[in-house]
């Protein structure tokens, strides 16, 4: 299916691995010209680089970085049509999961909001004039199931993502009449480095359960979290939803949240 993204210009943050890498790859395969943003590149991202995909190194904890990234996209490709705020998770110096709400300091709360909410707000603020100039655009914010399903092991992260959901809804109402759609994709557990890398969440659960990390991800976590599909998601499954929301096929979809959470969140 042709998503009619050929020639569209997209910025994807947190693009060096995991969900962001899958999104950048998918948008490029659909014909978009992609600015892939991360602190540093990766071998996987380097393989995608070329005329239609450029890596821009940026630390989104720097308040000036989001606007600089958006300006770079306009310089490279002449404008901006799609913004995917994917960068998120624990920022440098902050470790998740925690044992309790009491384990998070003021400094860690501040860093969590800087990375997971404020960097997206700044990128959107920079992107809106370019999209208005082109007569519209699509903003997709990657949130989390924890925005709706609070958890004491990552309470500050969930609070920041809940803020992102709220901001997204406000933006969709204000800028919808100007052709700009703003939607949210909320993943549940996804097979990314946060789970799979050495010392990651799978290793932590393995140490507690006496199971090997792969068994944790394929059996323990799906049962513990009550995943209706019986498995955690693959990054490509999130990327597919993002690409559809970025596409003209979703022209009348805005202010919506799409859960790709394996059926984790049970509430309405």
Q: List the catalytic residues.
A: 157
β-strands 33-38, 53-57: how paired? parallel
> For residues 229, 232, 237 and 242, what is the CA-based torsion angle, rounded to 10 degrees?
110
Is the CA virtual torsion 108, 235, 13, 56 positive or negative? positive
Q: Specify the residue for token string 């991360």.
A: 38
Q: How far apart are CA 142 and CA 144, in angstroms?
A: 7
Is the CA virtual torsion 177, 68, 46, 117 positive or negative? negative
Helices marked H in the chain — which ranges?
18-29, 43-48, 65-77, 106-113, 119-133, 155-175, 193-196, 201-209, 213-215, 221-224, 235-246
3-state percent helix, strand, coil for the chain, nearest multiple of 5: 50, 15, 35
CB distance 61 to 117 below 8 Å: no
Q: Which two tokens stand for residue 86?
A: 């994917």
Between the CA of residue 173 and those of 7, 28, 105, 247, 255, what are the distances in Å?
Answer: 27, 29, 35, 19, 7
CB distance 11 to 84 below 8 Å: yes
Respond yes or no on whether the N-terminal peptide bond of residue 198 is cis (omega within 30° of 0): no
């Amino acid at each position: 299916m042709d998503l009619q993204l050929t020639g569209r210009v997209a910025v994807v943050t947190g693009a060096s691995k995991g969900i962001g890498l899958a999104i950048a790859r998918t948008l490029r395969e659909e014909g978009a010209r992609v600015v892939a943003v991360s602190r540093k590149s990766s071998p996987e991202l380097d393989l995608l680089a070329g005329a239609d995909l450029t890596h821009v190194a940026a630390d989104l904890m720097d308040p000036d970085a989001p606007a600089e990234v958006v300006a770079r996209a306009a310089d490279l490709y002449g404008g901006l049509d799609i913004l995917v705020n994917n960068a998120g998770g624990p920022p440098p110096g902050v470790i998740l999961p925690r044992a309790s709400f009491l384990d998070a300091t003021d400094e860690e709360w501040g860093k969590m909001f800087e990375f997971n909410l404020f960097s997206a707000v700044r990128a959107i603020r920079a992107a809106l004039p370019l999209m208005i100039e082109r007569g519209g655009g699509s903003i997709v914010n990657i949130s989390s199931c924890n925005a709706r399903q609070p958890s004491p092991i990552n309470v500050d992260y969930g609070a920041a993502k809940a803020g992102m959901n709220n901001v997204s809804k406000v933006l969709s109402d204000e800028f919808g009449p100007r052709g700009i759609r703003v939607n949210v994709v909320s993943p549940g557990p996804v097979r990314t480095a946060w789970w799979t890398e050495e010392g990651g969440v799978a290793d932590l659960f393995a140490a507690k359960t006496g199971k090997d990390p792969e068994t944790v991800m394929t059996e323990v976590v799906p049962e513990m979290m009550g995943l209706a599909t019986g498995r955690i998601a693959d990054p490509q499954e999130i990327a597919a939803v993002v690409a559809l929301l970025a596409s003209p096929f979703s022209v009348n979809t805005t202010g919506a949240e799409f859960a790709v959470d394996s059926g984790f969140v049970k509430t309405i």
